[in-house]
Amino acid sequence: MKARELLIALINASEKAANIARKCRSNQHLFSLLIEEKTGDEKNDRFFHDFKTLADVLIQETIRYDVGSLFPCRKDSIKGEESNKFENVLGDKVIIEIDNNQENTFEMLRKVLDNNDEAAKELTNEIHKVVDTEEKLSISDEVEIDFDIGIWIDPIDGTAEYINGIDELTEFPNIQKTGLQCATVLIGVYDKSTELPIIGVVCSPFATKDDDNYDSKIFYGISLNDIKYSNVQPRVKSRKIAITSSSEVHSRCSSFEISMAAGAGYKALKVIEGDADIYYLSKASTFRWDTCACQAILRALGGDIVEFKNSIIEKQPIPLKYPDNNEDKCNRNGLIAYRDVNDFYKLVGDLSDAIKV
C-alpha cells in the first residue's frame, strides 16, 4: 500500500464527511428527526447528555465503505466511535450499511426519515458522490506501508456543539469556546506493531462561512519512520496558551494563560495550528478515536499526545498508544498534546505539585 494513495483517500473521505455533516445540519426539520441520545455502554459518563446523530453514523459508515473499497484488505481494520444501529425520534430502528447500490441507501434513509423522499434523495446523493479535493501532495509515490495498520474514525467529534451550534468566543485569537467550529471529523491510522499513529486527517466542516454557506479546512500529517510531512502552516503568536476543559485544575498553571473550549479534536487542532501551545486533560474522558488523527499530525510536526498521569509521574513524555484489541478504548490516564516538548516540561513543572496523580 502506498502512503500517498491512502492519505489522498482519507482526505477525500473527510471532505465527503463534511458535505454530509453540512447537509444534515442545514435543514432544521430534517435535523430534528436525526438526533438520538446515547445510552448504556455508548454514553460518555462525563456528560449529562451525550448525543449521536444520523450524520455521525452515516459519516462513519460512508468512510468505512469508501476507504474499504479502495483498500479491501484493510476493511476489517477500519473502526469507528459509533454503533451502526440508529433509532430516530419516531422510534424507527435501522442498521446503517453503505454499499455501491444507491437504491439500497435511498430506501434505508427513507425509513429513518419517516418516508421523506426529498431528504433521503439529497443524503443519498451526498453519500455516493465522487469527491476529489485535488489536494497536491509532495510526498513520494515510493513511500510504502508494508505493515499491518488500523484506522480509527470519529465521524463528528463535538456532537453536542454540532447539534447546538451556539457560538461563544474566547478572549484568545482564533479560539472558540463553543460552536460549530468546535466540531471536527477525525481519521487516524496507526501501526499495529508499534501501536503508534502514523497518518492523521482532521477536517473542520464549519471552518469558514460565506453568507449562509460553510466551507471546510482539512489538516493532515504523516509520521512514518524518518518521514515527517504535513500541510500545516502554524500561526505565530506572542502569548503562551494552554487549552483545556472547564473542569480542569489550572490555578497553578503559571507558565500559560488558560483558554477553555469544547471538543477534544478541536482543542488538539488548536495546538496543531499553533493557536494554543498545549492541551491537557487529567480525566479519562477521551477515547482512541478522539486522539489518533491529531496525534499523528502532531508527531509529524515534532510534537505528540502523551499520557497525562504517567508522564507527570515520570516527568517525561509517554505517548498514547493504540493496542489492537477489543478492550477498553478510553485514554484512562488523560492526555497532554503539544508541538514543542519544552512546553510539555513547563506544564509538568507547573502541575506536578498542584495535581495529585
Q: Which residues are catalytic?
A: 56, 81, 154, 156-157, 159, 290
Q: Report d(CA 96, CA 224) in Å as an integer.
A: 34
Enter the C-alpha cell of residue 110.
427513507
The C-alpha atoms of residue 276 and residue 268 are separated, in whole angstroms, by 9
CB–CB of 317/248 below 8 Å?
no
Buried b (16+ CB within 10 A) or exposed e, 325-354: eeeebebebbbbbbbeeebbebbbebbeee
Cell reading at 25: 445540519
Amino acid at 180: L
CA end-to-end span of the chain: 42
Provide the β-strand partners of residue 287: 330
Between β-strands 241-244 and 278-281, what pairing exists: parallel, antiparallel or unpaired? Answer: parallel
Give me the phi and psi of 52, to 5 degrees please: -125, 155
